[in-house]
Structure 1
Amino acid sequence: MARLARMAGSLFPDTVGLGVMSIGAAENPWPEEQPVVARAVPHRQAEFAAGRAAARIAMAAIGAPRAAIPAGEDRAPIWPADLTGSITHAEDTALAVVASTSHFRGLGIDIEPDAPLPADVLSEICDGDECAWISGQPAPLRWARLIFVAKEAAFKCQYPVSKTIFGFDVMTIRIFPETGQLTARFTRAVAPYAAGELLHGRYVLSAGLIIAGFIDPAGRA
């Protein structure tokens, strides 16, 4: 878990707290959280508990008090009023990032195995520009998987601000392999984000995993 924490931590500024928890090792969800998974299968309950526990570790990392993180009707986490964050799950581990809303409007993190994206879903995930870029790279479907992970992380980052659900075509990803940086550009307006507006992120490929992280700084117009 220490290696995974270092990988994920490298994607975010020091003002972002990170938490990692093994699935199956967490305490039970807090009472305010339990209704979210009351009828879920045992693995989903363990996954949920690990995600919430990881988030509370991330809270402590920035000096914030541990708090319940229930979910709304959209199933997105409801963070304490002065915090924002994001949760993701690997096969056996949950990761969470948390920061003060005085620093960031939103955060997004996502993790997937470092494996090729299935070719039959490529057209659902990647637009023409993205497909053109990966076609010039070695192992193009591996890069397509990174685009999928980046879009998931970027969506999580913007959602606390826009409260809007949309498809993969609303953001286009640009990858900068030489620096490990990412951008997610809105292809159409999603209020308050304008068409063409960018979110900035980073990625890491290591230990058989792809992790992407995005930030949306506070104070943006």
Structure 2
Amino acid sequence: MSENAELLSLAQRLLLGGVALACADPRQHYPLLPGETLPQATPARRAEFSAGRHAARQALQHLGLPGRAIPAHADRSPLWPLGISGTITHSRSACLAAVRHGAGIGLDLEEAEGLERDLWPSILSESEQLWAYDQPDPGLAAKLIFCAKEAAYKAQYSHSGQLFGFESLKITVTGEAFTASFNENIAPFRKGDAIKGRWGLASGHILTAAAL
């Protein structure tokens, strides 16, 4: 099974029903539609951007919608069709997009490599660091915390529209599931509200998926 096929299979297992998925190669340039622009970007970043838009359009078609242009908001987040929630993620070698009707979803894809120790304090709380140290592979456990926060952040962003730091979410991992709890009020979410997610490993990657 190819890398893309394995990652798509994992994503389908992690996400709830009613979600359409597609993949692309972030090292390849895909045609962009009018309205899809990324000014002042390196060739590599342009390739990643085009792959994300290509995968997103394919996912919309799998959902039964036209493969229309997906421009960006002023904050650079994708502007999805009315009533659609979506998410795009990529690593160095793979790109995934997921869309569905209704509430927010988030995916984060990262290489299954340990998170550098000097980054831990800026991403993980003390309790999250203690949990990671207690795992068989602490670096990979720390990377999982990072991925879970990224997926949860993406899932909630269409509702809050607010930027906030890693310290605003607390991750609790239980088996293949995780919970991202808000450490503060971020309207419309309140302190203690939680976003549920799941995670898995495939093709040398960690994939996290969160949904409202």
The bucket for the TM-score relative to the shorter chain is over 0.9
Give the match for residue 219 of structure 1. none
Distance of 1:92 and 1:115 partners within structure 2? 14
Asked whether 1:110 is paired with 2:108, we answer yes
Could you tell me which residue of structure 2 aligns to residue 162 of structure 1?
160
Runs of 4+, deviation exceeding 4 Å: none
Cα deviation for residue 132 of structure 1 reads: 2.1
Tell me, yes or no, if structure 1 residue 86 matches structure 2 residue 83: no
Once residues 78 and 202 of structure 2 are traced to their aligned partners in structure 1, the CA distance between those partners, rounded to angstroms, is 28
Listed as ranges, the matches of 1:147-186 within 5 Å are 147-177=145-175, 180-186=176-182
Shift of 1:25: 4.2
User: How far apart are 1:24 and its partner, in Å?
Assistant: 4.4
Structure 1 residues 121 and 24, CA gap change in structure 2 (3 angstroms) = closer
The amino acid across from 2:206 in the alignment is: I
- Identity of paired residues, percent? 38
> Residue 72 of structure 1: CA displacement?
1.2
Provide Cα deviations, 1:142-185, integer angstroms capped at 9, x if missing partner: 100000011111111111000000000000101112xx111100
Whether the aligned pair in 1 keeps the contact of 2:30 and 2:47 (CA below 8 Å) is no
Distance 2:72 2:98 in 1: 16
Aligned residues: CA RMSD: 1.2
Shift of residue 133, structure 1, vs aligned partner: 1.6
Q: Corresponding residue for 1:209? A: 205
Q: Give the Cα separation in 2 of the matches to 1:119 and 1:135.
A: 11
The residue identity in structure 1 corresponding to 2:126 is: G
Q: Measure how far apart 1:26 and its partner are.
A: 5.2
Question: Which residue of 194, 200, 207 maps to 1:198?
Answer: 194
Please state if 1:58 is matched with 2:59: yes
* Partner residue, 1:38: 39
Q: Which amino acid aligns with 2:93?
A: D
Counterparts of 1:126-165 in structure 2 under 5 Å?
126-165=124-163
TM-score by length of structure 1 reads 0.91
Return the match for 2:19 from 16, 21, 35: 16
Residue correspondences, number: 209
Q: Distance in 2 between matches of 1:26 and 1:67?
A: 18
| Secondary structure of residue in 2 paired with 1:211 | strand
* 1:29 paired residue among 23, 29, 32: 32
State how far apart, in whole Å, the 2-side matches of 1:198 and 1:128 are: 19
Q: CA deviation at 1:92?
A: 2.1
Which residue of the partner structure matches residue 7 of structure 2? 4
Task: Please say if residues 50 and 93 of structure 1, whose CA atoms lie closer than 8 Å, have aligned partners that are also in contact.
Answer: no
- Tell me the SS of whatever aligns to 1:10: helix
The 1:56/1:114 distance shift into structure 2, 3 A limit, reads same
Q: Please tell me whether the aligned partners of residues 26 and 53 of structure 1 are also in contact (alpha carbons under 8 angstroms).
A: no
- Determine helix, strand or coil for the equivalent of 2:201: strand
TM-score by length of 2: 0.95
Gap runs ≥5 in structure 1 = 217-221
